Structure 1
Amino acid sequence: MAATNHAQAIKQDSKTYLTTALWQLLQTKALSEVTVTQVVKRAGVSRMAFYRNFDSLADILTAYFKPQIDARFDDVIKHVPTAQKMAAIGEFFTDLAPELKLAVSRDFEPIIQQIFDENMMAFYQQTTMMQGLTAAQQKYWAHFMSAGVYAIWRTWLLDGQHESLDTIHDLIGTFQHATMAALQAQKG
């Protein structure tokens, strides 16, 4: 058992070193300009260690962002009390703002957007708000809302978060309910 624990610790250390190395390189280069060779050299691990943990450099970023984004969506899905949820979202977005700015300037924003979109789709599939809509309406409305919500959060983060988090939350809720009401009225 000790050997297994030791192997797991080494694997986790390799992941941490690779993630740190990639972040360091992204400070000055776009993701498309970074190579696996540069990352493993900076991390001080072998290519084999890289490929034991990841298939690509994008996988490192996915492994970094996914747990953070998933946790915020879990708070929403599990109906965490509003004050607690808003505090967690506020902290998350405060922490995410510099990374999102880097993602935009270093061309890896699609990774964040994909994780966000997957979570939005899962969220809408677990709600009852789409009941009564056709399968096509459900699919396209969910994608429409995901893109819109992402655009709102992105704009708010990149523009310096001047409006309160409550204002942004209310705005998204208004858009969500208005577009859903319009779809439901269309059926009638």
Structure 2
Amino acid sequence: MAATNHSRQIKQDSQIYLITALLQILKNKNLNDITVTQVVKRAGVSRMAFYRNFETLNDVLIAYFKPKIDAEFNLIINKVPPEEKIAALGNFFAETSDTMELAVKRNYEFIIQNIFKENMLNFYDAVIDWSNFSAIQKKYWTRFMSAGVYAIWREWLIDGQTDSLNDIHVLLSDFQTSTLKALKAEENF
């Protein structure tokens, strides 16, 4: 049993070293310009240790970002009162602005965007009563809105965060409310 616990600890340590090494390298290089060899050298682990834990460098970033973003969305979905959810989402955007700016600059934004999209779909499943909508309306509205929210967040970050978060919250809320109303009206035709 001790060997099993020891093996698990070594695997977990290797993952942490690899994640840390990749994040350090990303401060100065684009993801596309980084090799597994550079990461394992920086981490002080073998290539075998890398491939025991991950298949690609993208997987390293997913292992780092997914639990963080998932936890934040879980908190917003389950702990924040309904009237404060959009504001909480906006605060999350503000808190992660440096991370997002680096992701855009270093060409790994798509990883964060995919994790974000998955969480937005869960968010809308949890906060909207879909009983008055068709499956196709739900499917495409949630994808449309998650892409739109992401685009607004990205633009706000790239634009230097000059617009107030409150204005962004109001805009998002208006978009969500008006598009849901349009879907409901569609059912009456």
Same fold judged by TM-score > 0.5?
yes
**Shift of residue 142, structure 1, vs aligned partner:** 0.6
1:51 deviation in Å?
1.1
Q: How big is the shift at 1:37?
A: 1.2
Residues 1:171 and 2:171 are matched in the alignment: yes
Deviation at 1:47, TM superposition (A): 1.0
Amino acid at match of 1:139: K
Question: Percent same amino acid among aligned pairs?
Answer: 56
Q: Given that residues 72 and 89 in structure 1 are in contact (C-alpha distance below 8 angstroms), is that contact kept between their aligned partners in structure 2?
A: no
Q: Which residue of 2 aligns with 1:28?
A: 28
Other-structure match for 1:156? 156
Structure 1 SS opposite 2:130: coil
> Which aligned pairs between 1:105-144 and structure 2 lie closer than 5 A?
105-144=105-144
Larger CA deviation: 65-74 vs 156-165: 156-165
Q: CA RMSD in A?
A: 2.2
In 1: Cα distance, 2:88 partner to 2:142 partner: 25
Q: Contact between 1:103 and 1:109, CA under 8 Å: does it hold in 2?
A: yes
CA deviation vs aligned residue, 1:84-110 (integer Å, no higher than 9, x gap): 9956862x4344212211111111101
Structure 1 residue runs without a partner (length 5+): none
Q: 1:85 to 1:67 in 2, by over 3 A?
A: farther
Q: Secondary structure at the match of 1:32?
A: helix
Q: Which moved more, 1:150-159 or 1:37-46?
A: 150-159
- Contact 2:90/2:169, CA 8 A, preserved across alignment: no
CA 1:148 to 1:30, structure 2 compared with 1: closer, same or farther past 3 Å? same
| AA partner of residue 113 (structure 1) | Q
Spell out, residue by residue over 1:63-100, the C-alpha distance to the aligned partner (whole angstroms, 9 max, x if none).
1111121122112221424679956862x434421221
Name the structure 2 match of 1:48: 48
1:96-147: CA deviations, max 9, x gaps? 2122111111111010000011111122223443322222111111100000
How many residue pairs were aligned?
A: 187
Q: CA separation in 2, counterparts of 1:6 and 1:26?
A: 30
TM-score with structure 2 setting the length: 0.88
- 1:27 Cα deviation from its structure 2 partner: 1.9
1:66 alignment partner AA:
K
Question: Which segment is superposed worse, 2-11 or 116-125?
Answer: 2-11
**Helix, strand or coil at the partner of 1:163:** coil
For the residues of structure 2 that align with 1:137 and 1:100, how far apart are their CA atoms? 30
Unaligned stretches of 5+ residues in structure 2:
none
Q: Residue 124 of structure 1 contacts residue 130 of structure 1 at CA under 8 Å; is this kept in 2?
A: no
Q: Corresponding residue for 1:7?
A: 7
| Residue identity in the other structure for 2:162 | H
Amino acid at match of 2:100: L
* Residue of structure 1 equivalent to 2:181: 181
Matched letter for residue 109 of structure 1: E
Q: Distance in 2 between matches of 1:39 and 1:3?
A: 27
